[in-house]
Each structure stands twice: as structure tokens, then as C-alpha cells.
Amino acid sequence: MQIKTADFDSDQHYEQLKIQTKEHFEKGRLTRLKQWFRDFTEGAVEGGDLKLNKYLQDNTKYDIDIFKSYFLRVEKVIEKGKITTDNQFYDLSIMVDQLCQSEPVDIEKIGIVNKLLANYEQKKSRQASKPAM
């Protein structure tokens, strides 16, 4: 899809990103590249878009799995039995939505994730209602 307005041209934007990506790679800025990749794939992970994962594998010839780290993060929280950050809450919220839409429906896992989400929301609301000292 190409977007061209008076203020923005998608072709120029992506060409500039390619140049910046090459520069970051050459200068060894792995942290920045990792963040960009995560930003780029975040929408696909949230939406469970397996097509992007396949596209990346086919076009880069690397065994990329954009869902691997997401599933590992979620499983660690479930194993721990407690959500401790807003990012974990966000990841598990996405997971419960995906679980509810997948076949077969994993009622047990949905229950576990919903309980973790509810406990975290209660904890946050208790913290918000505490008077400041």
C-alpha cells in the first residue's frame, strides 16, 4: 500500500528507514534494531497474524518466529502465577482474546489467565485508592 500526501510519501519514508537500518547495523546498534523489529511486528503478534511470520521466513530465509518471545513471556507469567507489570497485563489480555477465538477453546487456560488479569486489576485499583502520604 502506498500513501502519498503533501506531508508524507510512504515510499520515501521506507527508503529512509532502509538507509537508517543499514547504518544502525553497520554501527552495531542491535538494541535499536531489535526495538524497531518489535515495533514492526507488534501489530501482527497482537492480531495473531501468522501470515507476517511466514512472509518474514520466506523473504529473509531466516527461521524467524515473531510469536516465540511473546508466548515465552506469557508462559513465564502463568508459571509464576502473578502479573507484576502493565506490560505483562497487556500480553495476557491479548492472550485471553486469542484463546477465546481459537479452536478448540482451552477453557482451563482461559480461566487461569482471567484470574491473573482480575487479580492484577484488583491490586492496581487498591493501589490507586490508597491515600498519598
Q: Delimit the domains of the chain by residue range.
A: 8-66, 67-133
Look up the pTM and report it.
0.66
Are 91 and 83 contacting, i.e. CB atoms less than 8 angstroms apart? Answer: no
The predicted structure's pLDDT at residue 42: 84
Q: Is 29 helix (H, G, I), strand (E, B) or coil?
A: coil
The predicted structure's pLDDT at residue 86: 92
Tens digits of residue pLDDT in 78-109: 999 999 999 899 999 988 888 888 788 899 99
The predicted structure's pLDDT at residue 133: 61
Q: Is 11 helix (H, G, I), strand (E, B) or coil?
A: helix
The predicted structure's pLDDT at residue 31: 93
Are 33 and 24 contacting, i.e. CB atoms less than 8 angstroms apart? Answer: yes
Question: With a cut of 70, which residues of the chain have pLDDT below it?
Answer: 1, 132-133
- Gyration radius from the chain CA atoms: 19
**CA dist., res. 95 & res. 46, Å (int):** 8
**CA dist., res. 120 & res. 83, Å (int):** 6
